[in-house]
Each structure stands twice: as C-alpha cells, then as structure tokens.
C-alpha cells in the first residue's frame, strides 16, 4: 500500500469513529410526533417509545413515511442503519420534496448490493421539476452494521449533503448565473424502502432475492432543531428567534478539504464528468461551481 493509501485509510477510520460518536450524542426526535406512516400496510413500525422506526420490504410491498411538517430551509439529521446482507435490488430513499410537476427535491438514495459488495449512495437535486444532477458514492464504512448520520443542510446559499458530519457534496446557489435553486417551495421529508431491481443494482442485472425477505431498514435520532417550518412560500425563519447561524453557513477550509477527500476516494459517478450523456455540453453549474 502506498503512503497516500495509508493516509486515506487512517482518515476513513477516524471519520468512522467520529461519526459513531456524533450518532450516539445527537438529539433524538419522536417518530410518533414528527412523522406519519403513509404506506406499507403494517410494514412500517414505530415502537411505543417513538425513538425508533423500521421500514420493511417483502415481495408484496415496501413501506414509507412522511414528516408532519413542511420545511423551507433547515439542517435535517437522520440516523439510518441500512438493509444488511444481500440487499441487491432494494432502494432505501430519504429525501426532501415538494409536490407537483415543477417540484423541488433533495435526495439521498441507498442502492443495495450483493453481500460483501458496497452500497451505492445516490444523490440528486431537483429544481422546478428538473433533476439529472446525480452524484454517486461508496462509503468508507459498512452502513448496515450500525447507525450513521445522514444530513442535509439547505439554506439560501447552498445545499450540503453530509455523512457523519463529513460533507460529500455541495450544490451552490448560482441563480445569478441562470441556474435554478430551490428556495420558495416548502418540502416534506420522505423515506421509503422499495423494490427497484429493474435498475438499482448493476443497472438491473442483479435481481432481488426474495428468499432473503423481509428486508428491513432502521431509523432513529431524527433532528430538525435547526430548521424552519414552511408553508405557502413563507418560512418560520423570518419570525422565530434563536441561533440561525446555519442560515448563512458554508463550507470552511476544513469542510472543503474533506469534500475533496471524499470525492477523490469515494465518488463513483459525477454527472458533470459524463461526456457521453451530455455530448452537447454539460449543465451550466458544472463549470460555475
């Protein structure tokens, strides 16, 4: 192993240790109070304490839930433990979205794989109904062994995706350059576990093994304390008191270093580098950000 490889492994181990500490220490919401189970016919479960939620998938159906509140800007944390073992064909989605054909959306999707092969973390940003901004990553840990924290920081300047406090992607507000940015549509938080074996694993070549069902993903530690409730284009950010430093937060020098490290070592797809897909030219944000 090269010296650079040793440094990369040491950094990955340090980030895993830090992430587990963050997950253990973070505030824990109550799923009964914060979310509604929206589908699954009993396959989604919230124990009486409200501190845990599980989604399950079998050959008949998956399951899902939605937040009771809508948000217009915020820092949203969720701790997830993904489907273990042979999860090929399954998708665990965790995202913010408004409604309608011109909706805005901020996506985390976890694409399952065969036992021993890594999950693919798929991210995307939709503005006014237009997506096609995919970036995909492998993780520097096994996301099925323990809970890890997946965060979205969404403010008027940018959207930052983070894993265990480590930023992996930033989508900047480049409206001044003609690039649309989600800023006026309040979004709900959604999550679901479903079968997508027509595309999820190796482009659909690997199918779901239903002998392994039911598949289960677990959630805890939801935190929206740094978030603003939104409706009808307005946000509680304008009236609520308290610390709103996150509303102007951007990546500092350490954050910039970490995002470069992640993208160098763990990014497996970037739409801004897909010359075959964008043979007529990349989207404008690719050269501006």
* 285 tagged catalytic: no
Burial of 49 (C-beta count, 10 Å sphere; 0-12/13-18/19+): exposed
Per annotation, catalytic residue among 105, 170, 175, 225: 105
What is the distance between the alpha carbons of residues 23 and 15, in angstroms, rounded to a whole number?
A: 12
Just list the catalytic residues.
Answer: 105, 109
């Amino acid at each position: 192993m090269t010296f650079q490889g040793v440094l990369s492994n040491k950094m990955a181990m340090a980030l895993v240790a830090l992430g587990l500490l963050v997950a253990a220490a973070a505030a824990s919401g109550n799923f009964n109070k914060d979310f509604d189970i929206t589908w699954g016919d009993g396959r989604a479960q919230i124990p009486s304490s409200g501190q845990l939620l599980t989604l399950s998938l079998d050959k008949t159906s998956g399951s899902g839930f939605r937040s009771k509140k809508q948000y217009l800007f915020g820092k949203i944390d969720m701790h997830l433990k993904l489907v273990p073992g042979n999860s090929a064909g399954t998708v665990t989605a965790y995202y913010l979205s408004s409604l309608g054909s011109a909706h805005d959306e901020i996506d985390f999707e976890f694409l399952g794989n065969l036992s021993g092969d890594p999950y693919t973390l798929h991210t995307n940003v939709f503005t006014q109904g237009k997506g096609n901004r995919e970036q995909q990553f492998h993780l520097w840990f096994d996301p099925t062994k323990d809970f890890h924290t997946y965060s979205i920081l969404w403010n008027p300047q940018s959207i930052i995706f983070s894993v265990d406090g480590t930023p992996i992607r930033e989508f900047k507000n480049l409206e001044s350059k003609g690039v649309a940015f989600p800023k006026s549509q309040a979004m709900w938080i959604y999550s679901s576990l479903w079968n997508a074996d027509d595309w999820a694993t190796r482009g659909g070549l690997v199918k779901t093994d239903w002998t392994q069902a039911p598949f289960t993903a677990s959630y805890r530690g939801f935190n929206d304390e740094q978030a603003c409730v939104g409706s009808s284009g307005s946000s509680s950010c304008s009236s609520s008191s308290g610390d709103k430093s996150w509303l102007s937060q951007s990546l500092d020098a350490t954050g910039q270093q970490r995002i470069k490290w992640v993208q160098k070592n763990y990014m497996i797809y970037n739409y801004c580098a897909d010359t075959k897909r964008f043979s007529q030219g990349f989207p404008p944000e690719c050269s501006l950000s």
